[in-house]
Structure 1
Amino acid sequence: MRRVLLPHHFSEHPAPVGGTIRDFRGDSMGTTWSVRVLAVGDCAPLQEGLQQQLDVVVAQMSHWFDDSSLGRFNHAAAGTWHSLPAAFFEVLAFAAQVARDSGGAYDPCAGALVNAWGFGPTRRHDQPGYAAPSPDAVAALLARRRGQDVALDPLARRAYQPGGALLDLSAVAKGYAVDCLARYLEAQGWRHYLVEVGGELRGAGTKPDGQPWWVALEQVVDADAAGQVGEMVLALHGLAVATSGDYRRFFERDGARFSHTIDPRSGMPISNALASVTVVHAECMAADAWSTALTVLGPEAGMALAERLGLAARFLVRSGGGLREHLSRPLQDMLDE
């Protein structure tokens, strides 16, 4: 059964007469990006402008490059304050708020744990010689993390490096990049578009036929009974959507499966029954971060927090060899019934 999700609010800007869809695409952040714009006239310069927006995000927030703003902060001396670029500070401040609101289920300072489990830029799980960290090594990393809080000074837009704190914003920066592309398009006067970076999406306005940008919520691809969960499509009209799942990136050792999503509280890859969490939100940065945090929290605690914060979320839970779907009330309210 195909179910439809509709936004509560609709744009007052009609599609331009004679508009056609123009496509732009490229590579960034270790993945691909694409943009569809309903345009009249020449919009070729958008290609360069869109790529430049993403290049700024990489230059400021990539944990893969030592010379990024984030890389320089991670390697800074202990006990030092650092002025941050505006975008970097905005994302870090938001990530810190999600960490607080989720009770530590998401942690922007979990870079050392991510690296230890082979999902960082070096000593990766798919490289020769990699060995998963021992319980003692994980415990040592957790003990060290407790003394590595990064303080923020909003007035001066700076951050404090206590020594050894390793930021990793990969669970939020991609969503922020989607928002950056959307804001850039709107600043150029384009109000009808669909933006995608690595599978995270944001849309506004309509297509030439007046229809919204319809997208299907991501399905779990490795479950035998995935087809038992009916397709759900979303009118991406003034909304963004992001999905986190344990099936996307993982490795297996001795019959055990290790997800790339790390629980910062235990220091271990998640092992709850959740296959995926999808979050629909006005901002893709929020959808990206919260889909990760809710995945870490698991079906019960994650749903409870989604309800308390008013997050529109879909949980796909593995059960008896199949999948069970659970929708938060805000997502249920979007169903066209």
Structure 2
Amino acid sequence: MGTTWSVNAVLPPKADDAAVERGIQAQVDTVVAQMSTYETNSDLSRFNRAAAGTWQVLPAEFYGVLRYALSLAKDSGGAYDPTVGPLVNLWGFGPDKRPHDAPDAAALAAAKARVGWQRIQLDDAGHRALQPGGVYVDLSSVAKGFGVDQVARFLDRQGVHDYLVEVGGELRAHGSKPDGTPWHVGIERPGAASGAVDNVDEVGRIVSLHDKAIATSGDYRHFFETGGRFYSHHIDPRTGYPVAHKVASVSILADDCMHADSLGTTMTVLGPDEGMAYAKQHDVAVLFVLYKDDGTFEERMSPAFAKAVR
């Protein structure tokens, strides 16, 4: 996934540390093998290359994630869309190392014509998905969170009851630390240097995770500027353009990391007003950090987030 993982865990007596570590690695390796756009031999890449009109049998994990992603796309009115891949690639944020530049109108129209979650049909009985032709699925906004959940489920099966799992900065906790206190995680301040969350002055807020997951999406690491304009890596599938509102970062608290991950992208695309309305309607725990004109930041949190961090 182009990132790292870490696990803090209280292992049972006589547990084989090396075996647990191998098991964790196997979980994330499986997600990469199934859902990576960067691996040409992944099941996702195979689906994206498949001929038009063919039904593709998908592994159970991949099928379940795709099914959830399509349901969120429908529920969000297309603000979240797993078929956004052609636009992500066109703007230079995909695996093909395309140069960062604003595309011309013709290229944008061609890519946008390939986007549309409604074009994918599913067959639950056969775990199959229809490739209608030209559809390029990108699960980068949900697969990492799913990987966190897979590691958590593996630890549960191993009898590990107290852990904090992290993949690329997205986290899920269960139980408590050895001293009985909750797992505390820091939400980094927008603009903080990578890894600087270890420094207190780079932390915007500290959250205690009580059997919850948290994911934070920000625009301050993956972006480019050209012609005096700033372009975020978050693409609005409805318009074909990077989001243009004043969202610096979005943090989501949820029961599992798959939901936290994907809802973070959804809220970022919807923006603070439409997103907050969605959050209130669907009881989403979201924290928006917004840019202000004077260079400072403003926090806005949904009622569910405020209740969770009291």
Same fold (TM over 0.5): yes
SS in 1 for 2:267: helix
CA distance in 2, matches of 1:147, 1:306: 22
Matches within 5 A, 1:117-136: 117-125=91-99, 131-136=101-106
Change (3 A) 1:293 1:36: same
- In the other structure, the counterpart of 1:26 is none
Aligned partners of 1:262 and 1:270 also within 8 Å: yes
CA distance in 1, matches of 2:117, 2:258: 27
CA distance in 2, matches of 1:180, 1:166: 24
- In the other structure, the counterpart of 1:329 is 303
Q: Hey, which of these two has a bigger chunk of helix by percent? A: 2
Matches within 5 A, 1:158-173: 158-173=128-143
- For residue 144 of structure 2, the aligned residue among 151, 157, 174 is 174
CA distance in 1, matches of 2:202, 2:288: 11
CA distance in 2, matches of 1:147, 1:198: 26
**Deviation of 1:229 (Å):** 11
- In the other structure, the counterpart of 1:14 is none
Correspondence 1:248 to 2:221: yes
Aligned partners of 2:235 and 2:242 also within 8 Å: yes
Change (3 A) 1:329 1:230: farther
CA distance in 1, matches of 2:87, 2:104: 12
Per-residue deviation, residues 40-69 of structure 1 (Å, max 9, x unmatched): 333311111110111110110001122110
CA distance in 1, matches of 2:204, 2:114: 44
CA distance in 1, matches of 2:40, 2:205: 41
Correspondence 1:287 to 2:260: yes
Matches within 5 A, 1:187-226: 187-221=157-191
Percent identical residues: 49
CA distance in 2, matches of 1:230, 1:84: 40
Aligned partners of 1:212 and 1:236 also within 8 Å: yes
CA distance in 1, matches of 2:177, 2:114: 52
Correspondence 1:56 to 2:13: no
Segments of structure 1 that go 5 or more residues without pairing to the other structure are 1-28
Aligned partners of 2:279 and 2:285 also within 8 Å: yes
Correspondence 1:276 to 2:246: no
Aligned partners of 1:36 and 1:193 also within 8 Å: yes
CA distance in 2, matches of 1:205, 1:63: 34
Correspondence 1:111 to 2:81: no
CA distance in 2, matches of 1:75, 1:148: 19
**TM score, norm. by length of structure 1:** 0.85
Change (3 A) 1:52 1:272: same
Letter in 2 for 1:106: Y
**Deviation of 1:333 (Å):** 1.2
Letter in 1 for 2:7: V
Change (3 A) 1:91 1:309: same
Change (3 A) 1:91 1:147: closer
- For residue 42 of structure 1, the aligned residue among 5, 8, 15 is 15
**Deviation of 1:258 (Å):** 1.3
Segments of structure 2 that go 5 or more residues without pairing to the other structure are 194-199
Per-residue deviation, residues 217-254 of structure 1 (Å, max 9, x unmatched): 2321269xxx9998422221210000111112111213
**Deviation of 1:192 (Å):** 0.3
SS in 1 for 2:188: coil
- In the other structure, the counterpart of 1:150 is 120
Letter in 2 for 1:38: V
**Deviation of 1:259 (Å):** 1.0
Larger radius of gyration: 1
Letter in 2 for 1:171: S
Aligned partners of 2:183 and 2:210 also within 8 Å: yes
Aligned partners of 1:229 and 1:324 also within 8 Å: no
SS in 1 for 2:4: strand
Per-residue deviation, residues 248-304 of structure 1 (Å, max 9, x unmatched): 211121322211111101101111111111000011000000000100011100000
CA distance in 2, matches of 1:131, 1:332: 39
- For residue 89 of structure 1, the aligned residue among 63, 83, 92 is 63
CA distance in 2, matches of 1:275, 1:99: 23
CA distance in 1, matches of 2:147, 2:81: 19
Correspondence 1:235 to 2:208: yes
